[in-house]
Amino acid sequence: MSNDVYSNFKLTEIEGNSVLNWRFYAVIDVVTKGILRKPVLSIQIITKQYAGHWYFEETGKFTEGHQVEELVRVFEAKQRKPIEQWQQPHNKG
């Protein structure tokens, strides 16, 4: 198990035009803590297809645990709607 801590979820883009082909893109902050080193902050792009799991775009590895899902819930609460209803000017269809 890693010591990574995720924060600051920001939905950046939704691709697709229906539930069958939606793809969500977001950025998160990732703090990696090592036993013998200082924590390192990086900004990572994550993605998921509708009803799939979030994964890191660069590596294809899944995010750990439920940290991202919890961040998504906070984002949705602040937006007052689920990410599937989030609108932006540059959604790709």
Q: What is the pTM of this model?
A: 0.79
Q: Which of 39-48, 62-71, 84-93 has the lowest mean pLDDT?
A: 84-93
Write down the pLDDT at residue 93: 46
**Amino acid residing at 20:** L
* pLDDT (tens digit per residue) in 38-58: 888 899 999 998 778 999 999
Return phi, psi of residue 81, to 5°.
Answer: -165, 160
In the chain, the percentage of residues whose pLDDT exceeds 70 is 89
What's the distance, Cα to Cα, between the start and end of the chain in Å?
Answer: 37
